[in-house]
Every structure is written in structure tokens, then in C-alpha cells.
Amino acid sequence: MHITQKGLVEMNRIERLNLINSLSGIKPANLIGTINEDGTENLAIFSSVVHLGSNPALFGFVLRPRGEVRRHTHENILSTDVYTINFVHTSFIKQAHFTSIKAKSNESEFVLSELTPEYIEHFQAPFVQESTVKLGMRFVEEIPIKTNGTSLIIGQVEHILIPDHIILDGGHIDLEALEIAGISGLNTYYSLNKIAHLPYVREDSKITDLS
Amino acid sequence: MHITQKGLVEMNRIERLNLINSLSGIKPANLIGTINEDGTENLAIFSSVVHLGSNPALFGFVLRPRGEVRRHTHENILSTDVYTINFVHTSFIKQAHFTSIKAKSNESEFVLSELTPEYIEHFQAPFVQESTVKLGMRFVEEIPIKTNGTSLIIGQVEHILIPDHIILDGGHIDLEALEIAGISGLNTYYSLNKIAHLPYVREDSKITDLS
């Protein structure tokens, strides 16, 4: 089957939305936690966290122009400068997914989704207690993507909260052992099975070295 | 375990690289295919493809500042305006991973990795025959990320090549049935198991609606 640009434009809106979202493949499931200046906590699910660099440790995520939930996340990051990125485990995908509800500005998605806020000293944004891998992020830069009004929010890692036994030799993490969830499209959830850990490919490597 | 920014700076370089890369969670495994003006094909593995919008259908990916492989991809996209994004299946993760080799400028990673280039009419960039889900992309914009010298390459979907039986009701795709691979860090590969397809959360939804 060959779908052209013209075919995409003519497609039903919801079908196109789901198809194009699915075509970005498997994505990480993360809850982003923030707080506003009145102390109202916000929690929202995102699947667009991307690695930008390791030194300094930088991550980006894409913020859509529309939607109440995402607007709260945006406003809170701009006003407090901090946010948390919490891994979603397969054990709480329903609660995580429920944070996509359009909450009122004085309502917390932590309460609505039955997830537990957790704090560390000297860091304003709430973490998710149910998550075992969580990052405390400091806002660095917002890059507007003029083509469609989205933007890339860039932050630097200030805190990593992680069980120490799960960091493997060389700094790797086993996402299967941690029961981490992945997302396809907007609402399909996957569990992960580790199938291979391949060596770094050198200039003189041969493909048979990987076997 | 609590790793602070100071702890990260003091960490061994390779361990930090692997840890921070792992902390972006599960990522899509994609091969990006390009061609230069002399007709030399290039193929490189990327795990940073991100969805930016559905109408127009836009995807971004992150290009690191260093590395021969990535430089060829970059130069070819700028000179021909087109590239392909091909899903990696669990059946050919070794070949896909091997495209990270530093090839000479007149060598094709298709040949080195034993993958097969495939073309459609009126589109210059090579697809990967072994992949069953592939996108023909037109370059739209490069957004420099000044903080660390990376950039976000944005492209619009012009062609979707996909087996028609795999698009489910409503435009969704089953990544498990297609045996799509995910990546953690730089070199750990995962297979995917579909565990839930949750409904859209409305303003008046209750968390029990998801059960």
C-alpha cells in the first residue's frame, strides 16, 4: 500500500492523526510533573522525550500548541524553571494515561489519577512516588518550531533518582527488568523484552563480529 | 540512589554517556536512507525520531554534531532535500546496528550491512527493502540547538509504504505484530508486546472507565 501526501490530506482526520502518530514507532512513556506558584501540582503524560546530549545531560520534549493539560505544564515550567520526568511502569499505565484528562486549573492530576506526589529537598517540582526512575530537570531553553506552532522544551538533568541495583555494568539500565512501558500513537501501550546488547561498531569491525 | 549534577560531572565518561542515553527510555529504531549527488547511498541508524504534527505530517530527528556517518546523512539531506525513514524489525537488528560503522565517503552502508536499497518513481532517496514500514520524507527545516551544537532536522511525510492489512481500525498500527524493534541507550535492543489500547480520556471520564 502506498499512501501519498495527497492521500493523507484526503484521509479522515482521526485516522490520519492515529496513523501519523503510530508512524513515529515506539516511544517512551513519561509523566512530567510541575507545580504552579499557588502550589497546585500538575502531572501529564508525554511520549516525546528525546536525548540531546550527555555532557551536559540534556533532554528535550515536544509541547503541542493546544490543550489545557499541556498549557499548565508549559506555564509552570516557565514560572518555576523546574520539572520532573518520571518513567511509566506497566503496573500503572491506566493511572498514567488518565493524566491526559483536561483538569481545571485548581485540580491536580495526581489526585484525579490516584498517583502520589513526592518531593526532595531544595527542588520545587513534584516527582511520582510510584515511578522508580525519575529525573529532576532544570529548564534551559524553549525552541519554537515555526512550521506548526509546537515547541521543543530543553532541560538539564539536576537529579537522578534510581534504585542503585538497576544500573548495569557501564551505566546501562535494563528496561525489561524495570517493567518500563512504551507508547505507540496516543493510547496503545507496550511492555518491553530485551533481545540483544550489541557491541560498539568500530571502523575495522565486520558484520560477523555482531553474531 | 540519588545522583546529582555534581555526581554526573565526576562520573566516568562512558558510564555517563550510557546512563544518560538509557534515561531517555525506550526509543524507536529507524534507518535513515539518503543518497549523494554522485549516487553513493548512505544508511544510518537513528533512535531520535519524534512526532511533531499530523497535518501537515511532520517528524523531527536529532543530528549530533560529530561522526562521519551522521555527517553524510546531513550533507545528503541538504543537497537532495529528501530522505527515507525505515522501521527496524527484530529480524535485522544486527544489520541495522552495523550501519553505525564509520564508512568511507564512497562506501555504502547498504553494502557493508547487507541491506537492500529500493526505490520508488520520482523520489531520489533509497528505502530499505527489508523494512515493511517506510516513509519518504521531504526536508523542511533545520533547527540548531545552540546549547550543545546538535540540531533538529524537520521533514514532511510525502510517501508512506506499508502493508495494507497492518493498519488497524482508526489508523492504528500493531508494532508487536510487525515485530518492530526499540532501542535503549546506544546498543540495547528490545522487542515489543502490546498490553493495552486505552480510550481517549474526556473531560467527564472517570479513572474506572479505563478498567
A24, A54, A100: residue with CB nearest B20: A54
Give the β-pairing of B2-4 and A150-161: antiparallel
Is there a contact between B184 and A191 if contact means CB atoms under 8 Å apart?
no
Q: Which of residues 134-193 of B touch A (CB under 8 A)?
A: 135, 140-141, 143, 145-148, 150, 152, 154, 156-164, 167, 170-173, 175-176, 180-182, 184-193
Query: In angstroms, rounded to a whole number, what is the distance separating the alpha carbons of residues A86 and A31?
Result: 5
Give the β-pairing of B127-128 and B117-118: antiparallel
pLDDT tops 90 at residue B71: no
pTM: 0.95
A102-to-A130, B168, B210 alpha-carbon distances in Å: 22, 27, 16
* HSE-up of residue A169 (Cα within 13 Å, Cβ side): 1
CA-nearest residue of chain B to A196? B189
A67 interfaces chain B, CB cutoff of 8 Å:
no
- pLDDT of amino acid A87: 98
Element (H, E) at A70: helix A68-80
Residue entry with cell 495526581:
A110
Element (H, E) at A84: strand A82-87
Q: In chain B, which residues have their Cβ closer than 8 Å to the Cβ of A163?
A: 1
Residue type, A106: N
Q: Check whether the bond before A56 is cis (ω within 30° of 0).
A: yes
- In percent, the amount of chain B with pLDDT more than 70 equals 98
Substitution target from A70, A187, A190 for chain B, most B beta carbons within 10 A = A190
- pLDDT of amino acid A69: 54
**Domain B22-210 falls in which CATH fold?**
Pnp Oxidase; Chain A (2.30.110)
Backbone Cα Rg of chain B: 19
Q: Which residues on adjacent β-strands are paired with residue B59?
A: B51, B155
Task: Tell me how far apart the terminal alpha carbons of chain A are, to the nearest angstrom.
Answer: 34
A14, A54, A200: residue with CB nearest B171: A14
B204 interfaces chain A, CB cutoff of 8 Å:
no
Q: Which CATH number fits domain A25-192: 3.40.50.970, 3.40.50.12160, 3.30.70.141, 2.30.110.10?
A: 2.30.110.10
Query: In angstroms, rounded to a whole number, what is the distance separating the alpha carbons of residues A5 and A86?
Result: 36
pLDDT tops 90 at residue B161: yes
C-beta separation of B85 from B135 below 8 A: yes
Is there a contact between B23 and A157 if contact means CB atoms under 8 Å apart?
yes
Q: Chain B closest CA to A1's CA: distance in Å?
A: 5
Count Cβ–Cβ pairs < 8 Å, chain A vs chain B: 360
Is there a contact between A20 and B57 if contact means CB atoms under 8 Å apart?
yes
B104 burial (CB, 10 Å; 0-12 / 13-18 / 19+) is: exposed
Cell numbers of B131, please?
A: 523494512
Query: In angstroms, rounded to a whole number, what is the distance separating the alpha carbons of residues B122 and B143?
Result: 27
Banded model confidence at residue B69, pLDDT cuts 50, 70, 90: low
Q: Residues of chain A whose pLDDT is less than 50?
A: 68
pLDDT tops 70 at residue B67: no
A100-to-A23, A38, B50, B201, B205 alpha-carbon distances in Å: 21, 22, 19, 6, 10
Q: In chain B, which residues have their Cβ closer than 8 Å to the Cβ of A27?
A: 26-28, 50-51
A1, A171, A187: residue with CB nearest B164: A1
> Which among A170, A176, A29 has a CA at the least distance from the CA of B24?
A29
- pLDDT of amino acid A70: 61
Q: Chain B closest CA to A43's CA: distance in Å?
A: 14
C-beta separation of A138 from A158 below 8 A: yes
pLDDT tops 70 at residue B66: no
> Which among A55, A49, A42 has a CA at the least distance from the CA of A113?
A42
A13-to-A22, B50, B78, B211 alpha-carbon distances in Å: 14, 20, 31, 27
B29 interfaces chain A, CB cutoff of 8 Å:
yes
Substitution target from A6, A15, A16, A19 for chain B, most B beta carbons within 10 A = A19
A18-to-A1, A72, B46, B155 alpha-carbon distances in Å: 17, 24, 22, 18
B123 interfaces chain A, CB cutoff of 8 Å:
no
Q: Chain A closest CA to B75's CA: distance in Å?
A: 20
- pLDDT of amino acid B70: 61
> Which among A149, A151, A21 has a CA at the least distance from the CA of A74?
A151
Does residue A80 sit in helix, strand or coil? Answer: helix
Is there a contact between A161 and B90 if contact means CB atoms under 8 Å apart?
no
Kindly give the residue spans of alpha helices, DSSP state H, lying in chain B: 5-10, 13-22, 68-80, 93-98, 109-113
- pLDDT of amino acid B64: 85
A6 burial (CB, 10 Å; 0-12 / 13-18 / 19+) is: exposed
* B29-37: average pLDDT: 97
> Which among B50, B130, B30, B36 has a CA at the least distance from the CA of B82?
B36
Q: What is the DSSP letter of A88?
A: P
Banded model confidence at residue B147, pLDDT cuts 50, 70, 90: confident
Substitution target from A32, A43, A119, A172 for chain B, most B beta carbons within 10 A = A172
